[in-house]
Amino acid sequence: MRTLIAVAAVLYSAAALAQAGPPMVGDKPLVQVKPRAAKVAGKSQPTAVRLQECLDIDDGTKERLSCYDAVILPASKPKVMTAKGVNDCKFTKEEDERLACYNGFVENMPKLPRS
């Protein structure tokens, strides 16, 4: 009976020591490295493809405008002029006009293959 208790005590203490903490290399704990491909995959698409993905969202909604604004950040410009390209739409202050500007350019783009 005593040997059974002694064996149980040894096994219990060994299990407790095994859970002491993360493995150490010198003074520093080991670090798990995440794959870089997961980060890069979302941002590797061209701007035109990301803009065309916004066309999947219902037209005339705040969500579509937010999608466009996430690709091309809105900015202010003191002198308002007509947009000559899709990048000029970011200077339009009124949300409905900015959405119409983006839609006009993106819908006329040739369809690019999605990665």
Mean pLDDT of each 10-residue bin along the chain, 115 residues long: 81 63 75 60 75 90 91 83 86 89 87 72
User: CB pairs under 8 A, 24+ apart, for 33-39?
Assistant: none
Among 113, 96, 112, residue whose Cα is nearest residue 104: 96
- Model's pTM, two decimal places? 0.51
